[in-house]
Amino acid sequence: FGGTDVLLTLVAGVVLLGAFVLVESRHAAPLVSLTMLRRRTVAFGNLGGLVTFSMMSTVVFVLTLYLQETLGLSSFATGLVFGVQGVLSVLAGTLAPRVIGRLGARRTLVLGLAGQGLCTAALLGIGPTSGAVLATVAVSVASMCHLAAIIAYGLTATSGVPDGEQGLVTGLVTTTQQVGITVGIPLLGVLATTGPDLFGGVRTVLVLDAGLVLATAALVALGLRRRA
C-alpha cells in the first residue's frame, strides 16, 4: 500500500464507523447500545482496553521487523525474545488479581497503561546495530503491564452495571478486544514499512505508540475519578 491507499482506507473506515453509529442510534434493538457508553466505567474502561490491545500488538509487530530486518536475528532467536515475553505474561496473569484486590480495578487499569507506555518509550533506546537485550526486557515488562490492564479494563467496564445488562456490556468488552487487536497494526504499523528507512519508521511508531498509551492513561485516570 502507498500513502494514498492508506489515507483512503482510513477515510473509508471513518465513514463506515459514522454510518454504523448512525444506524445503531436509531435501531430499537441495536447490536451495540450507545446509551451504555454514557456510563463512565463502561466508556473509559473500554477506551483503556482498546488502546492497550491495539498498541501492544503494534509494538510486537514492529519489534519483529526490527529484530529480523534491522538486527538480522533469525526467526528462532526472535521467537526466543517473545518467548520470554510469553512466560512473564503468564506470571503477570497470576499476579494481576492480587494487585487488583489491593489497588482496585480502576487504579490497576491506569497503572497498567502507564507502565505499558513507559516501557514502550524505553524501547527508543534500541539502536540500528544492537538492542536485542533492551527489546527483550522492555517488551516483556510492557506485556506484564498489558496483562494487568486487560484484566482491569474488563472488571472496570462491567462494574456497576445492572445484572440484566451484564450480557450487553460484556459484548462491548469483547468487541473492544477484537477491534483493538485488528486496528493497531494497520494504523501505526504501516508507518514502519512504507518509509525508506525501516529503523526510522520503527522509532516513529514507538514514539506515537508510547505517547498514545500514556495520554490514554491520563485520560482514563481523569475520567474514572470517584466523585465526592
Q: Is residue 44 part of a domain?
A: yes
The answer to whether residues 66 and 159 belong to one domain is yes
For residues 77 and 19, membership in a common domain is answered with no
Residues 23 and 115 in one domain: no
Q: Are residues 46 and 21 in the same domain?
A: no
pLDDT band at 33 (very low <50, low <70, confident <90, very high): low
The model carries a pTM of: 0.86
Which residue shows C-alpha cell 479494563? 153
Mean pLDDT of 32-59: 87
Mean pLDDT of all residues in 12-28 = 75
DSSP notation for 98-113: HHHHHH-HHHHHHHHH
Q: Are residues 21 and 65 in the same domain?
A: no
Q: Are residues 22 and 114 in the same domain?
A: no
Q: How far is CA 122 from CA 98, 207, 212, in A?
A: 26, 10, 14
Q: Is residue 112 assigned to a domain?
A: yes
| pLDDT of 32 | 65
pLDDT digits (tens, 9 = 90+) for 175-189: 888 888 888 888 888
pLDDT at 209: 95
Q: What is the DSSP letter of 196?
A: S
Query: What is the sign of the dihedral through the CA atoms of 2, 78, 55 and 34?
Result: positive
Same-domain pairing of 62 and 170 = yes
Residue 64's pLDDT band (cuts 50, 70, 90) = very high
91 domain-assigned? yes
Decide: 210 and 121 in contact? Cβ < 8 Å.
yes
Q: Which residue has the higher pLDDT, 123 or 228?
A: 123
Work out the pLDDT band at 228, boundaries 50, 70, 90. very low
Is the pLDDT assigned to residue 7 strictly greater than 80? no
* 130 falls within a domain: yes
Residue 50 to residue 217: CA distance in whole angstroms? 12
Compute the distance between CA of residue 44 and CA of residue 106 in angstroms, rounded to an integer.
10
Say how many domains are in the chain.
Answer: 2
Selected residue with higher pLDDT from 207 and 12:
207
Of 77, 62, 55, give the one whose Cα is nearest residue 199: 62
Q: Are residues 119 and 218 in the same domain?
A: yes
CA–CA separation, 16 and 5 (whole Å): 16
Does 228 map to a domain? no
User: According to the model, what pLDDT value does residue 226 have?
Assistant: 65
Are 21 and 112 found together in one domain?
no
Task: Reply yes or no on whether the pLDDT at 128 is more than 90.
Answer: yes
Arithmetic mean of pLDDT, 142-164: 89
Full DSSP string of 20-41: HHHHHHH-SS-SS-TGGGGSHH
Q: What is the CATH number of the domain that holds 91?
A: 1.20.1250.20
Give the model's pLDDT for residue 4: 63
Q: Which residue has the higher pLDDT, 194 or 150?
A: 150
Write down the residue that cell numbers 527489546 correspond to: 135
Residue range(s) defining the domain that contains residue 18 = 1-31
Non-local CB neighbours of 212 within 8 Å, separated by 6+ positions: 51, 55, 117
pLDDT at position 74: 93
Q: What is the pLDDT of residues 77-103, one digit of tens each?
A: 999 999 999 999 888 888 999 999 999
pLDDT of residue 34: 67
Average pLDDT, the chain: 87
The rounded distance, in Å, linking the Cα atoms of 91 and 86 is 9
Q: Distance (Å, rounded) from C-alpha 138 to C-alpha 20?
A: 38
**Residues 121, 198 within the same domain:** yes
Q: Answer for the pair 173, 157: CB distance below 8 angstroms, yes or no.
A: yes
Q: What is the pLDDT, as a whole number, of residue 192?
A: 83
The CA distances from residue 133 to 23, 153, 163, in Å, are: 49, 30, 47
Residue 175 lies in a domain: yes
